[in-house]
Structure 1
Amino acid sequence: MTHISALDPGASPLDYYGFELRRHREAAGLTQKQLGDIVNYTGSLVGQIETARKLPTPEFSERVDAALGTGGLLSRLVGLVLRSQLPAWFQQVAELEVRAAEICTFQTHMVHGLLQTPAYARAVLGTLDESDLDDRTAVRLARQQIFDKAEPPVFWMVLSEAALYQEIGGRETMRGQLAHLLALESNPRINVQVLPFSAGAHAGLQGSFTLFQFAGDPAIVYTEGYGSGHPTVNPETARDCSLRYDHLQAAALPLRDSAGLIRRTMEERYGEQRARDGAPVA
């Protein structure tokens, strides 16, 4: 067990967060239970976060910032804390997501993590490994905070039609995930195109990839294997993937038609089933 007296704020972002939480709570003259009552969490949870035994969430951070008048300190720290909990091989990619001006991704079999719903992300992460699933899901979802920045990146996703039919997490989870994609339709900075089965052979047959574009810096291409990621700044690779992405976008359905296909799939494949008498079927 970690003892609060031995907590080293320089040991990790999580330790630093806990140290600052404790410092500001004590400066306010509050016990852990009193602070917990104010922000509608248990005092035990406050203590676990202060001793770096539990991950904070963005919601917890916002409530404590408001309660302690920290000027948004913990809300600024929580993104760093959660990114630090990502697998070591993926942490660099999470930093690229934060810095990128434009992110273009092609996905063959599932929705990209930046657009996943909590239930969908949990189902993906829980495959063969349900350990620390709540924390791992929170860490993945925290990456989506890049869209809340003053100048969020422009995000393009070309999604294989197969991903609409790959039933991850069950019918309700898929219905929620596709509904989430449709809800993004009015956001000009988040764009989803579906590559239909009718496209046949296409420029993405070699697999999924993501292209990060930066203001004033070379583009970076990211591909992924089993338990490892492969970012590269090789200009030839970047040019090749950029060309491939252009062809994928050309072969994909336009934005409005893509939304129409997502909507039809959601209603026809994952809509509420009814018995012959009209009653809903679970």
Structure 2
Amino acid sequence: MANIQSLDPSASPLDYYGWELRRQREAHGLNQGQLGEIIFCTGSLVGQIETTKKIPTREFSERVDAALGTDGVFSRLIGLVLRSQLPTWFQPYAEMEAKAAYISTYQAQLVYGLLQTEEYARAVLATGMPDDLDSLVAARLERQRILEREQPPLAWAILDEAVLHRPIGGSEVMRRQLARLLEFTAHRWMHVQVLPNSAGEYASLDGSFTAMRFEDDPDIIYTEDLISGHMTANPETVRDAARRYARLQAAALSVEDSAALIARVMEERYEDRPPTDERTVAQIQLQR
């Protein structure tokens, strides 16, 4: 068992969170079980978070702030904690994404991370067989909070039609995921377009990419390979990506037509149909 006394609060956001949680709890004269009762969890969970054995959630953090009167300290810390759980190579991108004023992305294989439901994200992230899947899912959902800001980035996502047909997590998960995409049809800041199969060959057949624009910093282009992600502010690469994206937008369906296609795929491919067993099929055949 890790000893809380040995935690170095400067070692990581998670260590600081655990160290500060214990400090605040003890300052209020509470043991772990008593705090757990107040915030509707077990004392064991409180202890595991204090010793960095468990990753706190945003809900846990908000309850601690309310219980201990800490003026939002833990609600502010949780963002840093969850971001620190992202793969090391991905953290620089997440930091830039959170600062971007404008995001434009083309996704050839999967729904864009900021648009994923929890179940879809879990199915995608599970393919990497991570040690702590829950933490990765929580970190991905935390990224999505930038869309809830009073002034979120203007974002544009183009999805290849193949993304709609790839049954990540099964039919129920996909039905909810496509319904989530439809929620953005009339969204002020996030726009979703679909590049239809009928487009044939098109710009960026060789892969997905994301462009980010900032108020004061140079534009950045982000791509991923099998192992890691790559960011560049090279002006020539930025210009090439802008040209590619313009061609993708020209070939993609409008936002309204994209929504119609998403709804059609959701109904035709992922409709909630009652299961039909072999005996039912046989009965139907006999009645003909």
**TM (normalized to structure 2)?**
0.93
CA distance in 2, matches of 1:5, 1:78: 21
| Secondary structure class of the residue paired with 2:143 | helix
CA distance in 2, matches of 1:93, 1:15: 23
Q: Paired residue for 1:220?
A: 220
- The Cα shift of 1:150 comes to 3.1
- The Cα shift of 1:275 comes to 6.4
CA distance in 1, matches of 2:128, 2:105: 26
CA, structure 1 residues 275+68, in 2 after alignment: closer, same or farther (shift >3 Å)? closer
- Please give the residue correspondences for 1:237-248 in structure 2 after superposition, counting only pairs within 5 Å: 237-248=237-248
Q: Paired residue for 1:159?
A: 159
Q: Paired residue for 1:121?
A: 121
Point out where structure 2 has 5 or more consecutive residues left out of the alignment.
Answer: 277-288
CA distance in 1, matches of 2:14, 2:128: 27
The letter for the 2-side match of 1:84 is S
- The Cα shift of 1:30 comes to 1.7
CA distance in 2, matches of 1:214, 1:85: 25
Point out where structure 1 has 5 or more consecutive residues left out of the alignment.
Answer: 277-282
Q: Paired residue for 1:280?
A: none
CA distance in 2, matches of 1:51, 1:112: 34
CA distance in 2, matches of 1:214, 1:103: 9
- The Cα shift of 1:130 comes to 5.1
Residue 207 of structure 2 corresponds to residue 207 of structure 1: yes
Q: Paired residue for 1:253?
A: 253
CA, structure 1 residues 128+100, in 2 after alignment: closer, same or farther (shift >3 Å)? closer
- The Cα shift of 1:85 comes to 1.3
| Secondary structure class of the residue paired with 1:202 | coil
Q: Paired residue for 2:22?
A: 22
Q: Paired residue for 2:280?
A: none
Residue 82 of structure 2 corresponds to residue 85 of structure 1: no
Moved more, 143-152 or 65-74: 143-152
- The Cα shift of 1:148 comes to 2.5
CA distance in 2, matches of 1:69, 1:275: 51
1:56-80 CA distance string (max 9 Å, x none): 1111111111111111111111111
Q: Paired residue for 1:106?
A: 106
| Secondary structure class of the residue paired with 1:150 | coil
1:139-180 CA distance string (max 9 Å, x none): 222111212233211111000000000110100010011011
| Secondary structure class of the residue paired with 2:169 | coil
- The Cα shift of 1:48 comes to 0.8
| Secondary structure class of the residue paired with 1:203 | coil
The higher radius of gyration belongs to 2
The letter for the 2-side match of 1:70 is T
- The Cα shift of 1:262 comes to 0.6
| Secondary structure class of the residue paired with 2:185 | helix
1:115-160 CA distance string (max 9 Å, x none): 1111101111111515322222112221112122332111110000
Q: Paired residue for 1:269?
A: 269
The letter for the 2-side match of 1:167 is P
Number of matched pairs = 277
Moved more, 54-63 or 26-35: 26-35
CA distance in 1, matches of 2:133, 2:217: 36
CA distance in 2, matches of 1:9, 1:131: 23
CA distance in 2, matches of 1:130, 1:84: 15
CA distance in 2, matches of 1:275, 1:49: 43
1:202-249 CA distance string (max 9 Å, x none): 112121000011012210000000121110010110011011111111
| Secondary structure class of the residue paired with 1:185 | coil
| Secondary structure class of the residue paired with 1:273 | coil
Moved over 3 A (4+): none
| Secondary structure class of the residue paired with 2:106 | strand
**TM (normalized to structure 1)?**
0.94
